[in-house]
Structure 1
Amino acid sequence: MSEMSLEDLDHVGPATAQKLIDAGFNTIEAIAVASPAEIATSADIGESTAAKIINAARKSADIGGFETGDMVLDRRKLVGKLTTGCTEFNEMLGGGVETQSITELYGEFGSGKTQVAHQLAVNVQLPKEKGGLNGSVIMIDTENTFRPERIAQMVDGLSQKHGEDYDPEEFLKHIHVARAYNSNHQILLSDSASELANELKNTERPVRLFIVDSLTAHFRAEYVGRGTLADRQQKLNKHLHDLQRLGDLFNAAVIVTNQVMSKPDAFFGDPTKPIGGHILGHTATFRLYLRKSKGDKRIVRLVDSPNLPDGESIIAVTTEGLQDP
């Protein structure tokens, strides 16, 4: 499968192959999971030709047909679990953060969303026997919150915890960060992330974690008022599907952080509610709500999951990183 080039597909000649590569469709798998309209628009190919190319790619990549439940179960065995560094938090997530899924972290400012993202960027680089995925990280930073100094503190924390001498610089070398300046730039960066992940695919450190911190900040700032809501949601929807596709293609975990809004008309219960509406609610596989508690403690609640019960766990955000309270 990996030996095949794009030109081996039916209806793809050298010129068409080049157009597809220029549009970011570098692999047969990437074409197989795209839609005809997407390929037609970005690669300047007729929609009927695009549909034929996609069908040929699906046959070659063995994607898109019906399967029996036991085959799906076998494939689920490839799904990795990434440790959060906290026992209770891991148990609530059924062993850790899943690959091939989008995990959304939402909460007020200071609730620890970025801290969890930083910790996962460190943990994913650990060997599998220590709860990592032996991989590297791609991070899209929309609010200028990435701090290499924080990564260094967390790596020192891991050195103490595991009794090993980890080098913070080595960890930082495997975190690829890009600053997104607006929502269009953010969407373009998810395409660049795909190219970078493809380059690293067969190296010692393939990309096993994609982080977008924060997913909704630019969308919220640029699309103001009810009149722009449909356009905003449509763009957000496509962006989320692009991220899900990255998770599927590279067997990586996708972490997105999300802001909240206050509902002043809520007389009962918690008045905070995540941005992004139903589109984000339906697309995120796991939704985690973080809120402050006493001191360095944070309460993490699993609000939505396809296979796990709702639950709560307490974590401590310390100088050394996330720890059991």
Structure 2
Amino acid sequence: MSDTSITTQDIVQIDELQNFGINAADISKLKVAGIYSVNTVLSTTRRNMNKIKGLSEVKVDKIKEAASKIISIGFIPATVQASKREKVIAISTGSKSLDNILGGGIMTMSITEVFGEFRCGKTQMAHTLCVAAQLPKEQGGAEGKVAYIDTEGTFRPERIKQIAVRFDLDPDVTLDNIMYARALNSEHQTELTDQLGNELVHGDYKLIVVDSIMANFRVDYCGRGELNERQQKLNQYLSKLCRISEEFNIAVFMTNQVQSDPGASALFAASAKPVGGHVLAHASATRILLRKGRGEERVAKLQDSPDMPERDCTYIISEKGICDPDD
């Protein structure tokens, strides 16, 4: 295989290491640890690989050396990075006005976070995206499957079926294309994400939903005494999601809870701010604040984006999922 760059999004399965002197037993150990591609080998630190049972420092060095022979990493011309960005796919939220302020929809190769109080449409948006991601690209989809990690037990298959009818998709086929898991705690949530590697390496998946990102971490780590440990674990988990999104050209969509913030601006969401602190704020490329509007309307405010200005729009939640008020 000719040298390429890890930034070209060419995913090389880990079995390719056998052609460079790595035995099948060591490759199996990597897979057990959630490492299914050569790209992931390169992005995993030696320190973490040394923690894998059965891999010595000598073996880790040998594996790293073999991986670097398959994929070259380092500085590249900005034109190569521009070519990579051309592969980004925008997945429709179901609302044209919301897609517009996002620059087309929820983007692959990055993490998008929505936060807000209860009944503002976070989970409904997640359900709508699960269906929209399966649509053809010319209809605002990504022509891919979805992985859904549910931390609060709010996933509803019957809701997916309703939204699928709106987009003229077969409800049962739509459900078959969603891989669902109920995360019992923060450790299980991390393990589930590691397990995704075996599925993602084939390129069939285009969306990962985590609903919600902080629920388990808030329960498992209580009080100020455990805050530092919680943030460290959260940072490691978010780093994993970020790597997955870039490596496999996948959109990561997270919902988040809010907490009281009496000192916030009185103009917009005066009493609520997203949980997770700066760790979560820095990990999310795009942050959207959702709130209740007048009547059935909801308001989405784009608070942070690498390429779009701060703007807001209105949408509604109907049997068809997230949509515009005039739909």
Same fold, TM-score > 0.5, yes or no: yes
Matches within 5 A, 1:1-325: 2=12, 5-9=16-20, 12-47=22-57, 49-62=59-72, 64-159=73-168, 166-198=169-201, 201=202, 206-266=204-264, 268-269=266-267, 270-325=270-325
- Contact 2:122/2:290 (CA < 8 Å) preserved in 1? yes
Opposite residue 226 of structure 1, the aligned amino acid is R
**Change in CA separation of 1:314 and 1:59 when aligned onto 2, cut-off 3 Å:** farther
Does the 8 A contact of 1:6 with 1:27 survive in 2?
A: no
Label 1:212 to 1:13 Cα distance change in 2 as closer, same or farther (>3 A).
Answer: same
Q: Which amino acid aligns with 1:41?
A: K
Paired letter, 1:152: K
How far did residue 45 of structure 1 move?
Answer: 2.1
**How far apart are 1:20 and its partner, in Å?**
1.6
| Distance change >3 Å, CA 14–CA 217, structure 1 → 2 | same
Aligned-partner SS, 1:84: coil
TM-score, normalization by structure 2: 0.90
Q: Structure 2: which 5+ residue stretches go unaligned? A: 2-11
- Structure 2 CA distance for partners of 1:271 and 1:59, relative to 1, 3 Å: farther
Q: Write out per-residue CA displacement over residues 227-270 of structure 1, whole angstroms, 9 at most, x where no aligned residue.
A: 10110001111111111122122211000111000123447442
Which portions of structure 1, spanning 4 or more consecutive aligned residues, are displaced by more than 6 angstroms? none
Q: Secondary structure at the match of 1:294?
A: coil
Confirm or deny: 8 A CA contact 1:20 1:43 kept in the other structure: no
The 2-side partners of 1:86 and 1:297 are apart by: 12
Superposition deviation, residue 97 in structure 1 = 0.9
Report the Cα distance in structure 2 between the residues aligned to 1:139 and 1:320, rounded to whole angstroms.
19
- Give, as a single letter, the amino acid of the residue that structure 2 aligns with 1:307: D
The amino acid across from 1:255 in the alignment is F
Letter of the 1:18 counterpart: S
Report the Cα distance in structure 2 between the residues aligned to 1:121 and 1:54, rounded to whole angstroms: 36
1:188-219 deviations in Å (ceiling 9; x for gaps)? 11011222323xx16xxx00000100010011
Q: Which moved more, 1:105-114 or 1:294-303?
A: 294-303
Tell me how far apart the structure 2 counterparts of residues 49 and 172 of structure 1 sit (CA, whole Å).
42
1:37, CA displacement in angstroms?
A: 1.4
2:129 partner amino acid: L
Instruction: State the Cα distance separating 1:51 from its structure 2 match.
Output: 4.5
The match for 2:5 is none
Instruction: Give me the whole-angstrom Cα distance separating, in 2, the residues matched to 1:79 and 1:9.
Output: 32
Deviation at 1:283, TM superposition (A): 0.7
Tell me, yes or no, if the aligned pair for 1:36 and 1:48 is still in contact at 8 Å.
no
For structure 1, the 5+ residue unaligned runs are 160-165
Mapped to 1, the partners of 2:227 and 2:318 lie a distance apart of: 39
Evaluate the alpha carbon distance shift between residue 296 and residue 268 of structure 1 in structure 2; reply closer, same or farther with a 3 A threshold: closer
TM-score (norm 1): 0.91
Choose 79-88 or 213-222, whichever is displaced more. Answer: 79-88
CA drift at 1:18: 2.6
Cα gap change, 1:230 to 1:52, in 2 (>3 Å): farther
- Change over 3 Å in CA distance of 1:150–1:188 after alignment to 2: same
**CA–CA distance in structure 1, aligned partners of residues 260 and 132 of structure 2:** 33
* Cα pair distance change 1:307/1:266, threshold 3 Å: closer
SS at match of 2:232: helix
Letter in 2 for 1:224: C
What is the distance in 2 between the residues matched to 1:17 and 1:55? 14
- Report how far residue 42 of structure 1 moved: 2.4
Q: Distance in 2 between matches of 1:102 and 1:58?
A: 27
Q: 1:37 to 1:288 in 2, by over 3 A?
A: same
How far 1:49 moved relative to its partner? 4.3
Contact 1:22–1:43 (8 Å) recurs in 2: no
State the superposition RMSD in angstroms. Answer: 1.8
Q: In the TM superposition, what is the alpha-carbon distance from 1:108 to its structure 2 partner? A: 0.7
Aligned residues: percent identity? 40
